[in-house]
Structure 1
């Protein structure tokens, strides 16, 4: 598999009076799943559209393997994408939908059967796509993205409409794409799914990157969870956060030091343990000041 990198550098884009992108910059590397998250209106979909040449940036560059998307020959063989699962002719069967896409790019018809099988649609390939559920249309869009066996894949909210079985399949599918050496960019609002799937996460807000880090580093935490007399315990630690009637979080101390201080003060406790952050917690903390942007943005 050819290695291909997507580079987004200093993208700026305005729609009328709304600044949608304000210096968006990040890189999607081969062999890894990069999650792309942020509040509604943070610029995620606009960024993907600029990468794919559907919107033109006012400033900055979006390069696929070092060149703009519009200069790619046979682009389906370089970048596969799913931005809208409803972008299909509903009276066509899934098979025919993929056949015309393949022929438009000079791809052999045998590719259609392979991607239908991989997307789990081989048994319903001759059904009209308009009768598909949202989850099945997502799978059809993913099959279309893989037609050219591209080294880079961009998927916008692919978990939407998936049932539990489909979500489990999607996790393994995305990890499989990265394992083949592909560069994978996935936007999603489902933090729990990205936490178990993505290698890195780009968090966007107000049209720019707020954080770009590995999932492991975002989940790293030195906080300690205490269950017991939360009010009395909180008085012993600077910066302690009471999270419930009998729980609090303490930052900056190991669990052993917390136990010693609680015991010395005679404060009863039922549990003291290292607190493992979730990606959702890290996301909410980092985007706290970016949420109001949602009301201003158009995309």
Structure 2
């Protein structure tokens, strides 16, 4: 079982340029043990570069990135400290899944038994002797996660692990990531799929323009984006909008017979519609999705032109 004191990622003041492109501009956050932390942002926000710096694949111009209080390059057996999946296609297609993991295991002094354990953990035991080149993207994702787990590390970093997974695989990885965090590990997951992170992550780090835009609990972000908005369902939308405007509230048309109302609580909407004899079938407090909250936060985080990472 991993030691909690080792299960952290500390990113402090990272700055990095690639030619004229400023990829990182003071990126700072901490990934704590015992939870899944989502790492999100527009293309070019600096997510992949940050993860590469943590793993020693890119050197920062300024700042530091530590795993369990130490730079990655100082770790003698790195897979026992941090497991990572950055590119599910980074494998030799002629090797079987088992042989792909065996050479990684041997490089870290790990035995055959551990290889078979992680293959079983990710649901690839039955495909262990198939060549990885014939795997679907979802199966390659599972193999990459198995590789990340080889050293039973206290820290895991996964870049877009939901890509290519079928519905069954999505359900599996949600529960799997939560279980890994439940064991006390620090789990950092970069993804563009907000719906999957909403059901998986407890904490969210939102990046934009090479820095952190927000770092807070998923529940707090959704509550902030929801504010005091109300969902109204009525067959008389025009009459409802006129009544709401007269009371100083604003209403935006939603799907079919719905309106999203701002500036008036649910009970106030009910009283107002009753007074104006506007029929309605639903008035409920609006709960924003994580995607809505994310889009609101990153509205001004323009993608870097020509950014490659």
Fold match, TM over 0.5? yes
More deviation, 174-183/212-221: 212-221
More deviation, 244-253/73-82: 244-253
Q: Is the Cα–Cα contact under 8 Å of residues 243 and 272 in structure 2 kept in the other structure?
A: no
Is structure 2 residue 243 aligned with structure 1 residue 242?
no
2:25 aligned partner: 22
Distance, in Å, in 2 between the alignment partners of 1:289 and 1:112 is 45
C-alpha RMSD of matched pairs (Å): 1.4
C-alpha displacement of 1:137: 0.4
Shift >4 Å, 4+ stretches:
none
Runs of 5+ consecutive residues of structure 2 not aligned to the other structure: none
C-alpha displacement of 1:211: 1.0
Q: Is the Cα–Cα contact under 8 Å of residues 39 and 294 in structure 1 kept in the other structure?
A: no
Is structure 2 residue 16 aligned with structure 1 residue 13?
yes
Distance, in Å, in 2 between the alignment partners of 1:196 and 1:89 is 33
Kindly tell me: are residues 2 and 260 of structure 1, through their superposed partners in 2, closer, same or farther at Cα, counting changes over 3 Å?
Answer: same
**TM-score, structure 2 length as denominator?**
0.93
Candidates 261, 275, 280, aligned match of 2:291: 280
Kindly tell me: are residues 269 and 223 of structure 1, through their superposed partners in 2, closer, same or farther at Cα, counting changes over 3 Å?
Answer: same
C-alpha displacement of 1:257: 1.8
Distance, in Å, in 1 between the alignment partners of 2:192 and 2:97 is 27
Once the two structures are superposed, what CA deviation does each residue of 1:2-35 show, in whole Å capped at 9, x if it has no partner? 1111111111111100111111111100000000
Candidates 152, 157, 167, aligned match of 1:149: 152
1:48 aligned partner: 51
Distance, in Å, in 2 between the alignment partners of 1:268 and 1:275 is 19
**TM-score, structure 1 length as denominator?**
0.96
Candidates 200, 204, 207, aligned match of 2:207: 204
Runs of 5+ consecutive residues of structure 1 not aligned to the other structure: none
Distance, in Å, in 1 between the alignment partners of 2:217 and 2:3 is 23
Candidates 215, 225, 235, aligned match of 2:231: 225
1:298 aligned partner: 308
Is structure 2 residue 40 aligned with structure 1 residue 34?
no
Distance, in Å, in 2 between the alignment partners of 1:217 and 1:98 is 40
Distance, in Å, in 2 between the alignment partners of 1:156 and 1:100 is 22
